[in-house]
């Protein structure tokens, strides 16, 4: 039996690997890929401590939704629609830790 170091990152699950490939192909890859990788690492760590895969599924679901919504957001902005009436998320949720 061979020993493997514990500090190596876990290989991404097939769904995460597919999603990561899609994110890398997107024009927002410079900002989205590091953010996804951070969310994924945090979810894996949470799942490891809680023995619950819900955080991993939540990350996949959230990033799939972001990727699916991106064309609609691009179209909205391309039409020159005014988005200045938006509310800062911190005003709704309060300051976050």
What ranges do the domains of the chain cover? 12-18+53-79
- DSSP states of 41-69: HHHHHHHHHHT--HHHHHHHHHHHHHHHH
Comparing 89 with 1, which gets the higher pLDDT? 89
On the 0-12 / 13-18 / 19+ scale of CB atoms within 10 A, 34 is: exposed
Whether the full predicted model's pTM is greater than 0.75, yes or no, is no
pLDDT tens digits, one per residue of 20-41: 999 999 999 999 999 999 999 9
Give the span between the Cα atoms of 85 and 17, in whole angstroms: 37
Better-predicted residue by pLDDT, 1 or 6: 6
Alpha-carbon radius of gyration of the chain: 17
Residue 8 has pLDDT above 50, yes or no: no
Query: What spatial distance separates the first Cα and last Cα of the chain, rounded to whole Å?
Result: 44
- Around Cβ 48, how many Cβ atoms within 10 Å? 12
């Amino acid at each position: 039996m061979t020993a493997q170091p514990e500090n190596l990152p876990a290989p991404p699950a097939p769904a995460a690997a597919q999603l990561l490939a899609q994110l890398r192909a997107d024009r927002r890859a410079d900002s989205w890929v590091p953010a996804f990788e951070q969310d994924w690492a945090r979810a894996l760590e949470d799942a490891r401590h809680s023995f619950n895969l819900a955080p991993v599924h939540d990350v996949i679901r959230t990033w799939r939704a972001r990727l699916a919504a991106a064309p609609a957001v691009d179209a909205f902005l391309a039409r020159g629609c005014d988005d200045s009436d938006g509310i800062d998320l911190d005003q709704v949720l309060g300051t976050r830790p």
